[in-house]
A and B are shown apart, each in its own frame.
Chain A
Amino acid sequence: QKEVEQDPGPLSVPEGAIVSLNCTYSNSAFQYFMWYRQYSRKGPELLMYTYSSGNKEDGRFTAQVDKSSKYISLFIRDSQPSDSATYLCAMSQGLGGNKLTFGTGTQLKVEL
């Protein structure tokens, strides 16, 4: 079993929809939780990060972490075609020098 599980999709939604992307994990030592967005043939770019449990909002994006359930989510409101990309969750035990453990990524397509 992988340390981080993520549904690969693809997920197709109409423009304007609310999108929910999720990951589960097994390592209770993870403290930092990140979401990366990756466009085709590009490297991942950091969207948001959260420390421990709780919510964080940035514009149309909200990240949620529930450490008791080992479950993290990314919500995208008013989704746009430009949001079409692969979304990867990532997590680490600490900050300094720690490698990130990634999910496999969820491919999202927002249709006009």
Chain B
Amino acid sequence: GAGVSQSPSNKVTEKGKDVELRCDPISGHTALYWYRQSLGQGLEFLIYFQGNSAPDKSGLPSDRFSAERTGGSVSTLTIQRTQQEDSAVYLCASSSSGQGIGYTFGSGTRLTVV
């Protein structure tokens, strides 16, 4: 597609439920990143996929968070047993070569845990 597409754009869930957030990167982009943006906290790195290499999971805040990327394209970020502190905007970005300068971000998924 023309840009990075994320769905849903908004998600309200009850505490303790699992949620799945989806990211469709730009066609042909080999690198895909997930970031979390909380009020007053800036963007926090979560996970990075590059081609067929093992993902860099160093930013995932707990084992309730996981992500996968199928066929080198679409990625899903899963949060299990959601907590109120998980409420944030989850942003996905892709780039053609893994170079940080060439990131294109999606509009994000706004997650609210009630």
Residues of A that sit less than 8 Å from B by CB: 4, 6, 8, 32, 34, 41-46, 49, 88, 90, 92, 94-105
Contacts and interface: CB of A to CB of B under 8 A. Distances in A.
A105 B42 contact: yes
Interface string B77-114: 00000000000000101000111111101111010000
B107 A103 contact: no
B107 A100 contact: no
A90 B43 CA distance: 9
A104 B103 contact: no
Contacts of B108: 41-43
A103 B42 contact: yes
Given A43-B105, A102-B42, A96 B59 contact: no
A15 B3 CA distance: 31
Contacts of A49: 101
Interface residue range, chain B: 20 to 34
A104 B101 contact: no
B43 A98 contact: no
Interface string B45-70: 10010100000100100000000000
Interface of B: 4, 31, 33, 35, 40-45, 48, 50, 56, 59, 91, 93, 97-103, 105-108, 110
Given A98-B100, A99-B33, A43 B106 contact: yes
A100 B99 contact: no
Contacts of B106: 43
10 contacts: A8-B40, A34-B100, A41-B108, A42-B108, A49-B101, A88-B42, A90-B100, A92-B100, A99-B59, A100-B45
Given A99-B33, A99-B48, A99-B56, A46 B41 contact: no
